[in-house]
Amino acid sequence: MCPFHYITLFSVHQIWEDGKALSAEYEAEQEQLEAEITAQQTEIEGYELDSDKVSQFMELAKKYTDFSVLTVPMINEFIDKIIVHAPDKSSGVRVQEVEIFLNFIGNFELPIPEPTPEELEELKKIQLKRKRNREAVNRYQTKMKEKRRLAAQQAKEQKKTVDEESA
């Protein structure tokens, strides 16, 4: 065989190996792109579903734009469910979470307004008053406990004296 033939075979083999590697890369890229397309199609379907739900909710809202009395059937058309959680008193104030799920929209969260400086001042006054009341109750309970202890001790001593006199 001539040397040219070996070079040609080597070149053909190298081209075949390069083509094989490129084919594997292209297939991997193709799979990745197909996965991305599927994910984006799912996302688009979600947006379309949300858009449909918003349209349905808007139609319902337009149906009741002009009313003078709020009726139970009207409320039932808007509200899917209401979840009332257990109250929390850990902050000293009774707080209770309420979740409202609207038809077509889901969980509806009301925006929490920022308290005004006047409201903050009033809250501080209330907290200070509660603290003073707790301290006063604690002092009273301590005082009464001491009185009961002294009364029990005196009763014990009187019983002891009566027992000694009778003996």
Assess whether 99 and 129 both reside in one domain: no
For residue 140, the enclosing domain spans 114-167
pLDDT value, residue 60: 82
* φ/ψ (deg, to 5) at 81: -160, 160
Per-residue pLDDT of the chain (167 residues; tens, 9 = 90+): 555 555 566 666 677 787 788 888 889 999 999 999 999 998 888 888 778 888 888 888 888 777 788 888 888 888 889 999 999 888 777 889 889 898 888 887 878 888 899 999 998 999 899 999 999 999 999 999 999 999 999 999 888 888 777 76
Nearest to 99 by CA among 85, 89, 113, 117: 85
Two structure tokens written together for 62: 């337009």
CA pair distance 115, 124, nearest whole angstrom? 12
Assess whether 80 and 136 both reside in one domain: no
pTM score > 0.75 for this model? no
pLDDT value, residue 8: 66
Assess whether 74 and 85 both reside in one domain: yes
**DSSP string covering 86-111, please?**
PPB-TTSS-B--EEEEETTTEEE-PP
Assess whether 56 and 14 both reside in one domain: yes
pLDDT value, residue 34: 93
pLDDT value, residue 1: 52
pLDDT value, residue 9: 61
The alpha carbon torsion through 75, 78, 79, 80 (nearest 10 deg) reads 130
Assess whether 19 and 45 both reside in one domain: yes
Assess whether 58 and 2 both reside in one domain: yes
pLDDT value, residue 90: 84
Assess whether 119 and 103 both reside in one domain: no
Assess whether 5 and 59 both reside in one domain: yes
